[in-house]
Structure 1
Amino acid sequence: MTAAMARVPDSLRGQIVTPGDRRYAQLRSTYTTSASPAAVLLPKTTAQVVDALRYAREQRLPIAVRSGGHGFSGASSNNGGVVIDLSMLNRVQVLDERAGLVRIEAGARWANVAKTLAPYGLVVSSGDHGGVGVGGLATGGGVGWLVRAHGLTVDRVRAVEVVLADGTLVRADADHEPELFWLVRGAGAGAGIVVAFEIEAAEQRNVGVAQVVVEARPDGRTVSEWTSYLTQAPRELSAAAVVYAEGRSALMSITAVVAAESLRRARPAVEPLLAIGRVLEHRTDLLPYPALVPTAHLHPNVGQQRGTTTNGLFRDLDDAGARAVMRAVTEPGRAVVQLRSLGGAINDVAPDATAYPHRHQHTMVVASVFPPQGAGALDAAWRAVGARADGAYVNFESRPGPDAFARIYPGETGARVRRLWKRYDPDGVFRPALLTGQPQRAARPTRSAQPAGSGQPHRRRRRPR
């Protein structure tokens, strides 16, 4: 037994992973970042989360919390600190089938949620990859395949169970701890450890899914027509489009999802997308919702998707903005750009109702570069696009810091987030990277936490969380 394990609470025996453990290689890193924590704790119950947090605080080491899925910032792991990994806290329970109320623990992944809810004819709009963890997405926003029809994931949350920095377990909803409830719906990273959500699922069994590939015109017209249509399209339609260089030209690969139970209803919503450029591929199918976020997506996260990502939100992406997108894709640096549809049900919610304040935009633009390209190449590609943005989304930002904070939580929202992070975590136990700009590192690990011993999806189809 290592010195680190000697002080582990009895409730967590066998649930601490250190560098000498064979499980360490699959638990040390995130989807985008390789890391070397001193220990990873794997609680299975809320009581064990409390014990894990108290143990981690006793070590006086940086603490990272991971819901089990992947994220861009790398903040769910660290070097030399303690990671509280919630992946074994993953139960999904239907509380009230008629009302669609479900309880989902933070370590579940959305593929498992979709599979569990399918027999009930229920869905939660929740990201676009089955491997995404519930906790990270459901505290940041939740832009999914049904977002225009059913809103953000945070918009469907009805209650949360949170372990605060002092180890107190709190249930928050609209009537009990309303300030905490407001905070965790959009800015949960600095509030505490959310261990479970009660979410109002929507009735939906099947969806129309169109896969379309068109040539993307260099003058930006294809991008403009995509955004123009999605701004005023029926809210049953949500879509994502990846724009990437292909030799001397560029292509746009579109996935369009219609919240419809028949192809007869789905096809008219998709048809205008076939007129925005020369169609190279097209098919439309009726699929059960879990096919969009399948269990095949459930893989370990070992730093396999290295890259640098940023994003911006737009009320309207004008012609100059569309041309800037195409330059980002085709000029030196060659970013991969994704367009995501917003609006619809998202914009039915008041800007101050949650800590996600962006309720007037219709498009999100996400830009990524991959090794050997780095931050400098992304900055050069993104500059003209980002200058036109009106806000940003926390879950698509790989470089957290004060500048990103100002874009994600502007104005009074940001001031309120800061106040509440301070209220619920006065000692800065969680210290969100959005405030510091740096991942937490251990400068002088205590002896008890020293390690006992001295570890890509295809870019064109890359579907970030």
Structure 2
Amino acid sequence: MTAVPTTVPAELEGRIVTPGDSRYRLLRSTYTTVARPAAVLLPETPEQVAAALRYARDRGLPVAVRSGGHGLSGRSSNNGGVVIDLSALNRIEVLDQRARRVRVEAGARWAQVAETLSGYGLAISSGDHGNVGVGGLATAGGVGWLVRRYGLTIDNIRAVDVVLADGTLMHADAEHEPDLFWAVRGAGAGVGIVVAFEIEALELSNVGYAQIVVETDRQGRTLTQWAEVMAEAPRELSSAVMLMPYGKSLAMSITAVVAAESARRVRPVVAPLLELGVKLLDQRSQLAPYPALVPTAHLHPNTGQQPSVTTNGLLTMSGGNARAIMEVANDRRQPLVQLRSMGGAVNDVAPEATAYPHRHQDTLVIASTFPPGDGASLDAAWRPLAGRVDGAYLNFESRPGRRAFDRVYPGATGERVRQLWQRYDPDGVFQPQLNEMGRAATS
């Protein structure tokens, strides 16, 4: 482990946690990875974030940036470098309730955001776990419980404050620094440290919540039916699916969320899902406050407690794709396969409008292996889908690199991302491997 010099800049006094500190054990790792950084820095203001960057760069130490530490790749920590932990930048402010404009700092957790906004009758669709940090999700996408009604989290960002690699603080929106604003929404990890977001929320207090379990066939007909139901459903309905062993077959556990305030509205929207599959195994539904989906009970330290390897792909469901998904789920290596409904408001946005270009698919497929499974076993299980997916989502990919980059940022989007990463971070402070790719592509 690299030793950290004892000289501490005045701005960071008391904000540097090293291995001898009692706080280090709860700050060193991510949810998926046990790490051993030389120091974890805890800035509370954008100016202190800039000081933290200077501290790392002056010492030649690699930098990892953490908003929540729930990222599957484990990149929000490192071994021997500096982690800039944004957890103290966690303020949440309603700027204009009538316009539903809120300001959220990057270190807040989505459970805290939901709890605060509920007092104003507002909500932001923001992933599916309350412990996820705002910054990591809101710079990559944001496939939340209200995704078909609200779109991705990035689709509702109206302005950002970013600390660049040289310590400059910049405000970006559609009119000011539009290139930076474009990159932040989908590829923000490579341009700087976003310290705050202005987001347009949704006026919503309660949601319909249903848990449905059906037995599914092995040929994929049930998955095709699910996609057909979702395609015909009103946008208030979003759903997530988990495929699980059930005797000699598989069960499909469906979590359905309806962005509606009335139970009378929820029942007819959810009803077609009860007709799916070989047979209905279980069902329950209720009307609940939105924060119940991402509750404060989710909040916990991240200590490497869930090692895993994950990959994903976006596709438009068809009979062939559904069969391929079932083949992955039935693989002898037993990967965990999950699906998220897409479409709706997500696909209203033009592919070139943000650095997230995937605006025609209707399904996100995610597969994970857990120890003793590894990346090789996941790749082998994923093979039936590898040639069928036509995009990927950064936050459900454990292994960043050229292959992942080309799936997440295909074609012209990838070229623009590379150029902007090189412009705003020419030394590759935030994404060293991918910035090398950018330099190679543009030289």
| TM-score past 0.5 threshold | yes
Q: Percent identity?
A: 67
Q: Is the 8 A contact 2:428 2:435 kept in 1?
A: no
Distance in 2 between the 1:51 and 1:247 partners? Answer: 57
Match of 2:45 in 1: 45
Q: Shift in Å at residue 69 of structure 1?
A: 3.8
Superposition map of 1:38-437 within 5 A: 38-277=38-277, 278-314=279-315, 316-431=316-431, 434=434
Secondary structure, aligned partner of 1:322? helix
Note the C-alpha offset of 1:248: 2.6
Cα distance, 1:436–1:73 mapped onto 2, change above 3 Å: farther
- Cα distance in 1 for partners of 2:435, 2:404 equals 9
Contact 1:189/1:432 (CA < 8 Å) preserved in 2?
Answer: no
CA distance in 1, matches of 2:341, 2:328: 19
Secondary structure of the corresponding residue to residue 213 of structure 2: strand
Q: Distance in 2 between matches of 1:342 and 1:434?
A: 27
Question: Contact 1:69–1:134 at 8 Å: present in 2 too?
Answer: no
The offset of 1:247, in angstroms, is: 4.1
Distance between the aligned counterparts of 1:89 and 1:38, measured in 2?
Answer: 22
Q: Relative to structure 1, is the Cα distance of residues 229 and 436 closer, same or farther in structure 2, using a 3 angstrom cutoff? A: farther
Q: Which amino acid aligns with 2:134?
A: V
Q: SS in structure 1 opposite 2:333?
A: coil
Q: How far has the Cα of 1:376 moved from its partner?
A: 1.5
Residue type at the aligned position of 1:40: V
Distance 2:320 2:436 in 1: 34
Farther off after superposition, 14-23 or 242-251: 242-251
Gaps of 5+ in 2: 438-443
Report the secondary structure of 1:280's partner residue.
strand
TM-aligned CA distance change 1:269 to 1:44, over 3 Å: same
Does structure 2 conserve the Cα–Cα contact (< 8 Å) formed by 1:209 and 1:256? yes
Q: Is the 8 Å Cα contact of residues 421 and 435 (structure 2) preserved in structure 1?
A: no
- d(CA) in 1 for partners of 2:434, 2:367: 19
1:285 partner SS: strand
* SS in structure 2 of the partner of residue 428 of structure 1: coil
8 A contact 1:244–1:335 mirrored in 2: no
Q: How far 1:13 sits from its partner (Å)?
A: 1.4
Q: Quote the offset at 1:235 in angstroms.
A: 0.8
The answer to whether the 8 Å contact 1:214/1:252 transfers is yes
Contact preservation (8 Å) 1:209, 1:255: yes
State the secondary structure of the residue aligned to 1:313.
Answer: strand
Preserved contact between residue 401 and residue 436 of structure 1 (Cα < 8 Å)? no
- Contact kept, 8 Å, 2:145 with 2:257, in 1: the verdict is yes
Query: Deviation at 1:433?
Result: 5.3
Distance of 2:165 and 2:332 partners within structure 1:
46
Mapped partners of 2:396, 2:88: distance in 1 = 25
* SS in structure 2 of the partner of residue 19 of structure 1: coil
Q: Contact 1:141–1:153 (CA<8 Å) still a contact in 2? A: yes
Q: Which runs of 5+ in 1 are unaligned?
A: 438-465
- Asked if structure 2 preserves the Cα contact closer than 8 Å seen for 1:191 and 1:425, the reply is yes
Distance 1:225 1:361 in 2: 16
What secondary structure is seen at the aligned counterpart in 2 of 1:185? Answer: helix
Instruction: Give, in whole Å, the separation in 2 of the partners of 1:12 and 1:384.
Output: 51
Task: Give the 3-state SS of the residue equivalent to 1:186 in structure 2.
Answer: helix
C-alpha contact (below 8 Å) 2:216/2:250 kept by paired residues = yes
How far apart in 1 are the matches of 2:112 and 2:386?
35
Structure-2 residue corresponding to 1:455: none
Amino acid at match of 2:280: V
Query: Cα distance, 1:5 vs. partner?
Result: 5.4
Give secondary structure in 1 for the equivalent of 2:131: coil
Mapped to 1, the partners of 2:219 and 2:361 lie a distance apart of 23
Using the TM superposition, give the Cα deviation of residue 434 of structure 1 relative to its aligned residue in structure 2, in angstroms: 5.0
Quickly say closer, same or farther: Cα 1:3–1:35, change in 2 above 3 A.
closer
SS at match of 1:83: strand
Deviations 1:221-274 (A, max 9, x none): 111111221123211100000012234321111100000001111111111111
Q: 1:224, 1:319 within 8 Å by CA — same for their partners in 2?
A: yes
| Total equivalences in the alignment | 435
Q: By how many angstroms is 1:435 displaced? A: 5.7
- Read off the aligned partner of 2:302 and give its amino acid letter: N
Structure 1 pair 386–432 and aligned structure 2 pair: CA distance change class (3 A):
farther
Amino acid at match of 2:291: P
Letter in 2 for 1:137: L
Within a 5 Å distance, the mapping from 1:11-50 to structure 2 comes to 11-50=11-50
Q: Deviations over 1:370-424 (max 9, x none)?
A: 1111112111111111211010000100011100100000000000000000000
* Distance in structure 1 (CA, Å) of the matches to 2:182 and 2:302: 30
